[in-house]
Amino acid sequence: MSGPRLARRHLLAAAPGLAAGAWAGAALARADDMPGKGRSRLISAHDFGAVGDGVADDTRALQAAIDAAFVSPDAAILSIRPGTYKVTRTLRIAPRGRDGKPGHVTRLSGIVAHGARLASQIDNGGNVIELVSDSTVRFVVLEGLDIRGSGRDGHGIYMECEHKGGKYIYNFCLRDIVVQNCGGDGCRMLGNIFEGQVLNCYLRDNRGNGMTLGHGDRGGILSAIHVFGCVFGQNGVHGVAMINKCYDVSFFGCYFLLNKKFGLDAGNGVTLLSHCGFENNHEGAPDFERGDAGMRLQGFATLVACTAYSMFKQTRLLRAFVAGRLTMVGCSGSGGGRAKAASLAKLAGSSAANAILVGCTGAVAYADGFEGLEIGGPGGGVRFGADWRSRNLMQLGDYRLWVARDGRLRIKKGRPGADDDGTPIGSA
């Protein structure tokens, strides 16, 4: 790890709040561009006895193939042919050297399994696939897996690197993956996991969250995760939960729908949501009046062209307590049927926070004296803050204007210190 990279990791810890080709052949064609010596190997799970008929227990054969693929320093691409593979215990990716000790993986490697379904019959809460790193793991690809949980297992894909430094999972890619019906989360990542991509994945009908992302419980910073074109739907808790104060995740073109609670729960902020949709979340609520927003935010965020639509219990696109800056551009919130009162956002925030909404549609409610700056909203023009405490008061040179509780417009040079500060304008 380079000095600048480590410095960035420490900065993220103190803050508030590979892509692979479609087929193993394409992945191998790029192997020479990756660090490491020689060429990546291609091995087949069938050479280790995997059958894929949905009847035979393929756990032992698949584990042997995985162990052979993740031998440091000559890690391989493991190909799993189309079929249904019965799995009765956790499949563990644990990179090891030839001496059996934890080994680094710094070349293109992984599992390519288009058309292969892992049919979990795990019944003791164990995860289906685990990557727990005690070393540095880089350029790993998991592609094409279809995981069908038993409902009595744990997480579908579990990735962990809970170390304070020196051990990392990064430059990885999860692509074209389906995880359904697992007893825990569809996918869970914790710890020193960063600079990774999740593309075109469908995480639905899991008992926990569709995906959970977080700093490690014992150590490690999760950051620079980019999620593209994924669907998080009908999960037993949230579509995505960002936990343990992580925030450096970006979502592009993702859809969050029909989850029991929030589509996205970001308790310490989120870097970016672009062109994402939220539909009919809070399926666990008894009715619209006791429902909630598609997304809950505490901290900061930028939302671009995000939409929310509800016919049932989702009340708005966003409910937020802003503790930094919230920027929303071209976002909308609406509803029909029982949710015809659905709106854009409900916002509160700290005295130092700021919210700017540009070209958004849907009603915005403010709480506790917090107000945003709305430009080109449904009513057109610019809506400044009116409460004397607002960060978005109209400003003319050094003078601020606000509407006092008695309905009179007041003006003061500098920031007001109270509702009746400054000088009233016009007659009483």
CB within 8 Å of 122: residues ≥ 6 apart: 87, 88, 89, 90, 128, 150, 152, 153, 154
Dihedral pair phi/psi, residue 408, rounded to 5°: -90, 145
Q: How far apart are CA 89 and CA 127, in angstroms?
A: 8
- Single pTM value for the model: 0.88
In this predicted structure, the answer to whether residue 24 has a pLDDT above a threshold of 50 is no
CA–centroid distance for 419 within its chain? 41
Percent of the chain residues topping a pLDDT of 90: 77
Fold of domain 1-267: Pectate Lyase C-like (2.160.20)
Residue 13: burial class (beta carbons within 10 Å; 0-12, 13-18, 19+): middle
**Dihedral sign from CA coordinates of 178, 181, 185, 189:** negative
Domain residue ranges of the chain, discontinuous segments joined by +: 1-267, 275-392
Q: Are 199 and 176 in contact (CB under 8 A)?
A: yes
Q: Are 243 and 218 in contact (CB under 8 A)?
A: no
In this predicted structure, the answer to whether residue 40 has a pLDDT above a threshold of 70 is no
Decide which of 100 and 398 is more confident: 398
Q: How far apart are CA 64 and CA 11, in angstroms?
A: 40
Q: How many CB atoms lie within 10 A of CB 35?
A: 11
Q: Work out the average pLDDT over 83-88.
A: 98
CB within 8 Å of 334: residues ≥ 6 apart: 308, 309, 310, 342, 343, 361, 362
Q: pLDDT-based confidence at 41, cuts 50/70/90?
A: confident
pLDDT digits (tens, 9 = 90+) for 403-426: 999 889 999 999 999 999 999 997
Average pLDDT along the chain: 90
- Residue 6's pLDDT is 45
In this predicted structure, the answer to whether residue 23 has a pLDDT above a threshold of 50 is no
Q: Work out the average pLDDT over 59-63.
A: 98
pLDDT digits (tens, 9 = 90+) for 305-351: 999 999 999 999 999 999 999 999 999 999 999 999 999 999 999 98
Give the residue from 85, 109, 81 showing the smallest Cα distance to 95.
Answer: 109
- Residue 427's pLDDT is 63
Q: How far apart are CA 261 and CA 235, in angstroms?
A: 9
Q: pLDDT-based confidence at 26, cuts 50/70/90?
A: very low
Q: Are 238 and 261 in contact (CB under 8 A)?
A: yes
Mean pLDDT highest for which of 83-87, 107-111, 164-168? 83-87
pLDDT digits (tens, 9 = 90+) for 126-153: 999 999 999 999 999 999 999 999 999 9
Q: Name the least confident of 4-18, 250-264, 287-301.
A: 4-18
- For residue 404, CA distances in Å to 185, 353, 364, 409 come to 50, 21, 21, 6
Q: pLDDT-based confidence at 393, cuts 50/70/90?
A: confident
Helix or strand run (H / E) with residue 418: none
